[in-house]
């Protein structure tokens, strides 16, 4: 069984971070470029980790042999990785919004686009945490994932609003 949404959310996050790194380098913001590059590498690792965690959980779930502790650990890991994806995506969206004032107006739509993509990835990852069998209502992981998705959405909205205010019609 192949998991698609989690690795894809991580890959989108990585691509958005890559765009940020390129723009930051172009406009001589080495600190932001390094931060974006670090986020890109984290997202790439998470894409692989999510695919592996999902596959392990699916094997345990479909091949139940009475070892519930192993199934529980596999499901916990399958929830932990999308949580990390959501948090990484939120970091990308927030970095994008923070860079708005440091780049020329004609590149701001690209920053806003990166933030919007990251926000979608964060929301996707939060949904994956929510539907995980090991996560119940009130679970701290679910609250963190939703918080990351909300933070990413707020940063994306701010980036998009800033762009629309600074680009002449």
Query: Band of the pLDDT at 169, cuts 50, 70, 90?
Result: low
Kindly list the domain boundaries of the chain, sorted by start residue: 5-166
Mean pLDDT for 5-10 is 96
Distance between CA atoms of residues 131 and 129, nearest Å = 6
Q: Find where tokens 């679910």 sit.
A: 142
Percent of the chain with pLDDT over 90: 69
pLDDT of 1 strictly over 60: no
CATH 1.20.120.680 fits 5-166, yes or no: yes
Q: Find where tokens 């107006």 sit.
A: 105
Instruction: Check residue 74 and give its pLDDT.
Output: 85
pLDDT of 109 strictly over 70: yes
Measure CA 70 to chain center.
Answer: 27
Query: Band of the pLDDT at 153, cuts 50, 70, 90?
Result: very high
Listed in sequence order, the DSSP H helices in the chain are 5-26, 30-62, 68-99, 108-131, 140-166
């Amino acid at each position: 069984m192949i998991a698609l949404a989690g690795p894809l959310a991580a890959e989108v996050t990585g691509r958005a971070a890559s765009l940020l790194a390129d723009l930051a380098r172009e406009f001589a913001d080495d600190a932001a470029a390094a931060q974006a590059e670090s986020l890109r590498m984290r997202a790439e690792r998470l894409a692989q980790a999510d695919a592996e965690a999902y596959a392990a959980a699916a094997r345990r779930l479909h091949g139940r042999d009475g070892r519930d502790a192993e199934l529980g650990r596999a499901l916990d890991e399958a929830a932990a990785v999308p949580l990390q994806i959501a948090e990484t995506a939120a970091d990308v969206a927030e970095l994008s919004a923070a860079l708005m004032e440091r780049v020329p107006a004609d590149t701001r739509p690209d920053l806003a686009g990166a933030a919007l993509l990251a926000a979608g990835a964060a929301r996707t990852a939060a949904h994956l945490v929510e539907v995980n069998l090991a996560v119940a209502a009130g679970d701290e992981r679910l609250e963190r994932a939703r918080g990351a998705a909300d933070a990413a959405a707020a940063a994306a909205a701010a980036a998009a609003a800033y762009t629309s205010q600074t680009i002449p019609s």
